[in-house]
Amino acid sequence: MARIICFDLEGPLSPQDNAYEVMSLVENGDKIFEVISKYDDVLALENREGYEAGDTLALIVPFLLVHNISEEDITRVSKRAKIVDGAKYLISKLKSEGWKVYIISTSYEQHAYSIGAQLGVPKENIACTRLSLSALRDEMRGDFSVIERAERDVLELHGCLKTPEKMVRRLDKFFFEEMPRTGYGNVLEKVYVIGGAKKVQAVHRIAEANDAGLSDIVVVGDSITDYKMLKDVKENGGVAVVFNGNEYAIPYASIGLASLDIRFLHLLTRHFDRRDLMFEMVKSWEAGRSDFEKSIPDEIITPELRGFLLKSKIEMPYFNYLDDADEKKMSDVIEIHKRFRALVRGAAAKLG
């Protein structure tokens, strides 16, 4: 049996939302990003034709251009990104046990390759968003007035995030009427963002390249850009794990892991060839977690992870079996993940 694992990057492997941090290089860039991120959520949840969750990374490009942000700026911001605790340990462990490790990320290539290099995942095993700001800047022919007007309007809209109707009208006009008239063209066609359905396509390409089925794959995600990938793998017999997820991702996973350290995912992958044991471990942890502060049964945990828990004294992780979760359980799991998500991701936790 093939052993393949595909990680989303931002959340499971690195807490930084790179695009948010890059936008924050400019004055009020954080507010601009928050408005567009909310717009992204609205369009994705209404299943707007031709739009996918994560296309935020295409929508912010005009604002990056008007402020002369470069590929070098993206790389510079990426270099200060942290790695999620336990990620290096986990990936090293997986590779030593014969797993093929991939990253499927909405992130710009400058960030995805930087984090991948730190984790020992080669470029050829990373699907991410390609971006050449220098080429796109040439296509604007120096006319940024439309973007500058839109930016002023976006900042005024920042206070209307809970009532987004006005925001949607203004941004629809900007992105799909005004920008095409500048010569830039369709904003969604200028940058091929690996989000939503394109993550699903990436999983299928990885399976095909390895002569494997989706049942041979574990996917790990946390947000709205991952739910289609989680759903597809789960429905086709693979294992869909949500790590410190939000309300958009959790309902589509089989297993939830809320933790300050992702190395505990190894407790799942070690049983990959025996799914019955994997799910039994999750159910046992879920039922017995309150007692584990005193003692964790040997059949539940590895000696290595037991030693880590005793030495680090971090908060006990939560595992949850989600396939049969009712509305009450799902709500409780979302609240648990929300707390861990805020602790691990900081300001980025509020984004979709």
Rg of the chain taking only CA atoms, in angstroms: 21
Q: Which of 41-50, 272-281, 325-334 has the lowest mean pLDDT?
A: 41-50
**Locate tokens 């499971």: which residue?**
12
Q: Which of 41-50, 71-80, 95-104, 322-331 has the lowest mean pLDDT?
A: 41-50
- For residues 73 and 98, the answer to whether their CB atoms sit within 8 Å is no
pLDDT (0 to 100) of residue 181? 87
CA distance 171 to 142: 21
Tell me the pLDDT of the chain averaged across its residues.
93
Q: Which domains does the chain show, CATH number per domain?
A: 4-13+87-129+195-350 (3.40.50.1000), 18-79+132-190 (1.10.3870.10)
Q: What is the pLDDT of residues 214-238, one digit of tens each?
A: 999 999 999 999 999 999 999 999 9
Strand ranges across the sheet with 217-221: 126-129, 100-108, 4-7, 217-221, 239-243, 255-258, 318-321
Torsion of CA 257, 262, 267, 271, to 10 degrees: 90
pLDDT for residue 100 is more than 70: yes
pTM of the model: 0.93
pLDDT for residue 300 is more than 70: yes
Torsion of CA 67, 14, 80, 109, to 10 degrees: -50
Query: Which tokens is 313 given?
Result: 């004294």
Q: What is the pLDDT of residues 161-206, one digit of tens each?
A: 777 888 999 999 999 999 988 878 889 999 999 999 999 999 999 9
